[in-house]
Structure 1
Amino acid sequence: MRKASGMRLTNRLVAFVTVIVICAMFVIFIGGAVSFRKLGQDYLTHYLDGVVEVIDQEMADPQGAQSLSRWLPKLLKASNVMELEVSSEAGVIYSFKGLQTLNDPSILYRSRYELQHNPGYFVDMKSIPPYTEFTYSIGAMSSISLAIAIIIVGLIWGMDWLRRQLLGSELLEHRGRMILAGRVEENEIGDEREWPATASLALDKMIAELKDARQERSRFDTFIRTHTFLDQLTGAANRVMFDSRLQSMLQDQETHGAVILVRIADWEELLAEKGKEEADELIQDVGGILSNLVQRYPDTVLARYFDAEFAILLGQQSVKEVKQFANTMMNALDRLSPPTPLDKENWCHIGVTSWVSGERRGRIMDEADMALRSAQLQGTNGWFAFKKDQQVEDARGSVRWRTLLDSIFSSGGPLLYQQPVIMADGTTLHRELLSRIRDENGMLIKASRFLSAVEQVGFNARMDQQVISKTLNMLRNEPVEDALSVNVSVEALLDKAFVKWLRDELLQTPRTVLNRLSFEIPESGLVKHLDAIRPVARILVGLGCKLVVDQAGRTIVSTHYIKDIKVDIIKLHRGLVREIDLRQENQLFVRSMLGVCADSAVQVVAVGVENQNEWQVLKQLGVKGGQGRYFAAELSLEKPESPRKQK
């Protein structure tokens, strides 16, 4: 199965030609600069040799040596010599120092000469290098300037000609990208200039048939989830989803992070003076900047909390990392030019507070609001962090994480824990394998703490390879009655070397073993890289493994992947399950997900079930199974060891 190219054909050709031309110009420029420098250095050396020869000859004459102080300063000043000393073993005979000031004395050219006619005497000089005080001159550089101008004009003309020739294929490719992005309705009929024409007509026909085959239930489901949890203007989460996710993370054990509030000042005045349309444009600009910045952090929620206020939830990030993120965010927002009546120097303020599991959501939001008000009192664009007595500091950087993970991989890989998925009838669907590692002090670290570091140092494929190898060994050699499920990252599935290794390993495994193996893929990454993961998913399913989509509902994405690839199980994100008996909006989301899977054989499983009330509501909604502490705790598959602290 082919996957969509990451760069358009025209951009490839334009980039290739541009890089070649720029490299050629760069080589010529470097060569010319080196030549100019060499010529100037040779000229200066030759000139200074002449000055030293004159001094040597004059010092050989007793009368000439006495008149050095009369004529030599003029010669040195005309020769751009800043300092000169004539010395011997007895001491300094003559010294000269110019009155001209330099901003950077380190650029001076230093030289030392021994006088031929006066043995034992030396001349030390510091002179200004050539071309130091010269600026660009059109007259002197006219030939090079003209050549560069001709090259640039020719390059622009050539690129324009190339784009015009490939316009038809560009239009067809753009249309294909829009369709892959889900914008089918806007691209039902192609442009007449699309080429090849047969491919364009075939695409028109397929889209028309697909539109007729769509079910109203799917469209209604997407509508419900989008309007329940997303802000319609920016596409970010709304307040309902933010509060639900924050409450869920606070109830998890051993979690920490930060809440950041971004508020636009004088919002009411802007609405009254400029109107809603221009105010919405500012909101979209701010939302776009924040959305791009939060992409680098996993498990991050960006929400439009109020009309002129955004909220960001960062999980498992240290105070140092949060402060760096706040500075980056403030610098990015400073580059915006807000419309009047907003003051460019005092229109955006940020409040930051940290949190740990067990705190109250209302208190955290109050702390973030107080920090935001403190930032507003400063009278300029800026951010302020709420000072708390206890803050989580993780001093382990990427280098220490890399060292720790290297030692883990070389000593047998991560530790494996298991937790069963129990169906409504009491049977066990499978047991999910969970990774743990021990740090330098022997403290146990959960996957939620180290997976972001694994991604940061690029060890996703190595981590997944070791976990899968251990899982296959257990299935082959140990009497495991239940099926096992193993998590695999999207980054690993995008690695061709890892996919090749995984395929070869599975081909060497009996099908009876593979039928008891499931692979769990995060929903957000699966949808984002669906074209690249689709062939890998088909290989796994074709070999007899089951495909599980994990963390469903963590982000609002299209559910067309359910019918695009053969998904066996969908696991709801624990944020939807937590206190679902008290949250009607989460129940609505689960109902819509179950509606999407109603006409298929996909089983929906809830993760993070903690009590009887949650499980009863989930069963009433139609969820087939559950996983969490309500059913069984996480148990180690390793050999028993002496109890240690858990981090």
Structure 2
Amino acid sequence: QALSAIITTKYESDRALQDLQQSESRLRHLANHDSLCGLPNRHQFVTQLRLAASRFEQGQSTGLCVLSLDLDRFKWVNDSYGHATGDQLLVEVSQKMAEVLPKDVLLARLGGDEFAVLAENTAAEDPGALCDSILRCLTHRVSLVSADVQISASIGAASATAEVFGANSLMKLADGAMYKAKAKGKGCFVLSCSQQTVSSLSDLNMEPAIAAALENEDFEVYLQPIVELEGCQTVGFESLVRWMHAQVGMIRPDLFIDFAERSGQVRDIDLYMIGKVSGIVEQLQQGGQPELFVSVNVSASLLSRSDWLQSFDPKIFAKGLNIEVTERALVADVSAATEILQALQARGSKVYVDDFGTGYSSLSYLHRLPFDVIKIDRSFVDSVTESDKSRSLVELLVSLGRTMGVELVAEGIETQSQLEMLRQLGVRYGQGYLFARPMPVSEALVQLKPTLS
């Protein structure tokens, strides 16, 4: 019996030790891995990058590169379909990337929709090929429980050199290149020049940086043509803000507008843009192109008070300065928004409802709001040639537009087949990369000259 007790005690002790070791192993795994995708997390990635940088410095590896990757339009997926769908998308995307990357390459999820890749030796010899593999694997639509989603990524790559090989330096270079990829139009990659010191957007103290950009007029207007689909003639432009930062480069609005809304600076950006676009409208008038309009996107902040209207010549709105608002901005305060939009219409401006169908569409308030144009969100245009639901929705919007006496503009037209389908469905106007990307004002006006002459 004594021997049996000893054996039992030894067994229980070994079992307890084994359980403890397994618990420690699980805790180490949790500490170093992302719980959603199962990939190494930021802590583990930085740790491995520092070790790799040390090996490169000591001549123990022949190459080292870092990729910084951010999913495009991921926030839109979360807002449109919910966080559960967003989480499912992250898992699917991480699996797709893991399948196409070499086995000796480290893929990590840093947080949110941010991923990073670490490659050494021969795998690091061609960072462009790594970027291209990732972009190609994301070209197909991802089938999720709630929807089929088209996703893309913006990627920045940085390679170590004899002068630049530190972990922090490589991460900054890759981040800076990634933001340049976003500025180029997303769905692409940029290779960083290691000899240059590039500050990433995350390094900025955002609030004073935005204030300085307003004061120094570092925000620039870009124009994207809106065309009549039947003849593909330009009828006007949508204006888009671009932040030309001295260190980071060109920054797209989706990287700073959310912060500006939280800090209360978005109102100042709205007014800045209206002032700049007013000058563009005057330029079109004086250049013999009075029929062309330019629309400005404004936030909910500008629709809450009407005092700003007195700051602008009322005639500028009648000359072709139109206003674009999202459904989200409209419903923040329906009565205040209605009053201000009616005042704008009285001055001759047309009101566009932007990204229609992705926010808070409700006929119970839609008929109360004054607007002249509905812009069909690009998510429906993306699948209009493939999805019966998308086609049916566009047909419904065309019917709704005719009933309510409003025009429709389709956003995000990228292929000839999309253009043909939208024509068949009765959509009269559109914009997208098929016609032109957003461009500086001077470039947009130069492109108009051949048509006008």
The TM-score bracket by the shorter chain reads 0.5 to 0.7
Q: 2:417 aligns with which of 589, 607, 613?
A: 613
Alignment of 1:468-479 (within 5 A): 468-477=274-283, 479=286
Query: Which residue does 1:423 correspond to in 2?
Result: 228
Task: Tell me, in whole angstroms, the C-alpha distance in 2 between the residues paired with 1:610 and 1:362.
Answer: 15
Distance 1:299 1:532 in 2: 29
Is residue 410 of structure 1 aligned with residue 215 of structure 2?
Answer: yes
2:296 match: 486
State the AA in 1 paired with 2:264: G
Distance in 2 between residues matched to 1:314 and 1:488, nearest whole Å: 30
One-letter code of the match for 1:300? N
Q: After TM superposition, give the deviation of residue 469 of structure 1 in Å.
A: 0.5
Structure 2 contact 245–251 (Cα < 8 Å) conserved: yes
Match among 138, 155, 169 for residue 360 of structure 1:
138
1:258–1:314: 8 Å Cα contact kept in structure 2? no
Question: Partner residue of 2:320?
Answer: 516
Number of residue equivalences: 287
1:400 aligned to which of 200, 205, 209: 205
How many angstroms apart in 2 are the aligned matches of 1:630 and 1:430?
Answer: 16
What residue is the counterpart of 1:250 in the other structure? none
Q: Does the CA-based 8 Å contact 1:415-1:638 persist in structure 2?
A: no
Structure of larger gyration radius: 1
User: Is this contact kept in 2: 1:300–1:314, CA < 8 A?
Assistant: no
> What do the CA deviations read for 1:508-538 (whole angstroms, capped 9, x no partner)?
3426x52411100012331343223111111
Aligned-residue offset at 1:583: 1.6
Asked if structure 2 preserves the Cα contact closer than 8 Å seen for 1:298 and 1:452, the reply is: no
SS in 2 for 1:432: strand
1:357 positional shift: 6.2
> What does residue range 498-509 of structure 1 map to in structure 2 within 5 Å?
499-501=306-308, 503-506=309-312, 508-509=313-314
- Answer whether contact 1:398 1:453 (CA < 8 A) is retained: no
Select the residue among 413, 419, 433 that pairs with 2:239: 433
- Letter paired with 1:417: Y
Q: Distance in 2 between matches of 1:414 and 1:616?
A: 36
Say whether residues 1:600 and 2:398 are aligned partners. Answer: no
- After the TM superposition, which segments of 4 or more aligned residues of structure 1 sit over 6 Å from their partners? 361-366, 391-395
Matched residue, 1:582: 386
Aligned residue among 297, 317, 322 for 2:112: 322
Give the structure 2 partner of residue 450 of structure 1: 256
SS in structure 1 of the partner of residue 390 of structure 2: helix
Give per-residue Cα distances to partners, 1:348-402, cap 9 Å, x unaligned: xxxxxxxx86642779789xxxxxxxxxxxxxxxxxxxxxx9x979864596222
Partners in 2 of 1:617 and 1:323 — Cα distance?
A: 33
Per-residue CA deviation, residues 254-312 of structure 1 (Å, 9 max, x unaligned), is 962697xxxxxxxxxxxxxxxxxxxxxxxxxxxxxxxxxxxxx676336479xxx7544
Deviation of 1:601 after TM superposition, in Å, equals 1.8
Separation in structure 2 between the aligned mates of residue 604 and residue 477 of structure 1, nearest angstrom: 26
Give 3-state SS (helix, strand or coil) of 2:296's partner: strand
Which amino acid is the alignment partner of residue 240 of structure 2? Answer: L
Q: 1:622 offset after TM fit, Å? A: 1.3
- Give the drift of 1:592: 1.9
| CA deviation map 1:563-595 (0-9, x unaligned) | 323311111111111132112221122122222
Q: Matches of residues 158-169 of structure 1 in structure 2 within 5 Å?
A: none
Q: Does 1:623 align with 2:438?
A: no
Mapped contact 2:413–2:430 kept (Cα < 8 A): yes
- From the superposition, tell whether residues 419 and 360 of structure 1 become closer, same or farther in structure 2 (CA, over 3 Å): same
2:436 maps to which residue? 632
Give, as a single letter, the amino acid of the residue that structure 2 aligns with 1:574. Answer: R
**2:201, 2:248 within 8 Å by CA — same for their partners in 1?**
no
The answer as to whether partners of 2:225 and 2:236 remain within 8 angstroms in 1 is yes
Verify the 8 A CA contact 1:398 1:456 in the aligned structure 2: no
Q: Assess if the C-alpha contact under 8 Å between 1:404 and 1:440 holds in 2.
A: no
Q: Deviations over 1:179-213 (max 9, x none)?
A: xxxxxxxxxxxxxxxxxxxxxxxxxxxxxxxxxxx
Equivalent residue, structure 1, for 2:347 = 543
- TM superposition score normalised by structure 2: 0.55
What code does the residue aligned with 1:490 have?
A: A
* 1:561–1:620 distance in 2 versus 1, CA, 3 Å: farther
SS of match in other structure, 2:213? helix
